[in-house]
Structure formats: C-alpha cells, structure tokens
C-alpha cells in the first residue's frame, strides 16, 4: 500500500498527540527507567507514524482543542475506533492487570478509551491490533 501522507505530516500528528498530554518524546524517553518500556515507546512512535502515513490512524484536534484519535480497522479499514481523552475511568480500568502485564494494561486502557471494552480489543488481529497496542503504549505513559 502506498503512503498517503508524508513522514513529516505524520510525525507532526504524533507530536500533536504527545504535546496534548505534555509529553515531548525526548522528555518521555528520558523519564523512563525500564529499557523495555523505553524501547516499546520508541517502536510505538515509529509504528504510529507509519500507520498514519498509510491512512490507518488519524490524529487531530477538534474546534474545542480536544485531541481526536481515530483508528481505521477491519479488512478494508472501513470501520473506526475513536479514542476519547484519557481520564480516571480509563486509568482505573487497568487496576486488575498484573503490574508486569503491559499488554493486559494496554488492552484494558484501549478498551476503555474506545468504549468497546478489553474483550473487543483482544479480538483485533494483525495491523489493527498492532496499531491499537502502539497507541496504548504511548497512553500508558500519561
């Protein structure tokens, strides 16, 4: 699939995402002590850029300066997942995940933010799941 968006525009969208939560990438990476988490965030940042370029993720702000993340899913990307702004309810959705279970936390968080629940996220496959995991990895740092 050909890239629909330039790498520069895609990077601006990811930086908009990070800036919304006041987490510049360099500061975020500097604050992470865990090497696996640091690696996960770096990889997620790069993968989100590629997903934006291919039209699978859109990041923008609304007229009310609210962050808007839309993930296109399904075999032909015809369905969408819309992520709401992270809140205490979304964070508390991770309370039952083991402290070492990063993916369990991600699935709970993404399930809460999309309003679909963890079970729906667990059913995603391939690029759809990978894209959701990358968004979730970044949001775990909020």
SS3 96: coil
The total of other beta-carbon atoms located within 10 Å of residue 135's CB is: 26
Please answer whether residues 131 and 48 qualify as being in contact, where contact means their C-beta atoms are separated by less than 8 angstroms. yes
Place of tokens 């993340």: 69
Q: Can you tell me the distance from the alpha carbon of 32 to that of 38, in angstroms, rounded to the nearest whole number? A: 6
Q: Can you tell me the distance from the alpha carbon of 97 to that of 109, in angstroms, rounded to the nearest whole number? A: 10
The total of other beta-carbon atoms located within 10 Å of residue 79's CB is: 11
CA 53 to chain centre: 15
What's the pTM value of the predicted model, to 2 decimals? 0.93
Please give the pLDDT value at position 1.
56
Q: Which two tokens stand for residue 127?
A: 């690029």
SS3 116: coil
Please give the pLDDT value at position 47.
97
Kindly give the confidence (pLDDT) of every residue in the chain, 142 residues in length, as a single tens digit, with 9 standing for 90 and above.
567 899 999 999 999 999 999 999 999 999 998 899 999 999 999 999 999 999 999 999 998 989 999 999 988 888 999 999 999 999 999 998 888 899 999 999 999 999 999 999 999 999 999 999 999 999 999 8
Q: Can you tell me the distance from the alpha carbon of 141 to that of 38, in angstroms, rounded to the nearest whole number? A: 10
Nearest 5°: phi and psi at 42?
A: -60, -45
Helix (H) or strand (E) holding 82: strand 79-83
């Amino acid at each position: 699939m050909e890239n629909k968006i330039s790498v520069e525009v895609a990077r601006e969208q990811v930086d908009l995402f990070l800036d919304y939560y006041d987490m510049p990438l360099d500061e975020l990476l500097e604050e992470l002590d865990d090497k696996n988490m640091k690696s996960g965030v770096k990889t997620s940042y790069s993968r989100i850029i590629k997903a934006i370029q291919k039209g699978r993720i859109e990041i923008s702000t609304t007229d009310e300066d609210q962050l808007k993340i839309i993930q296109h899913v399904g075999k032909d990307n015809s369905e969408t997942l819309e992520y709401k702004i992270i809140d205490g309810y979304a964070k508390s959705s991770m309370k039952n995940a083991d402290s070492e279970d990063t993916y369990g936390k991600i699935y709970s968080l993404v399930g809460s933010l999309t309003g679909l629940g963890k079970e729906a996220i667990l059913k995603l496959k391939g690029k759809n799941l990978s894209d959701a995991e990358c968004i979730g990895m970044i949001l775990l740092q909020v």
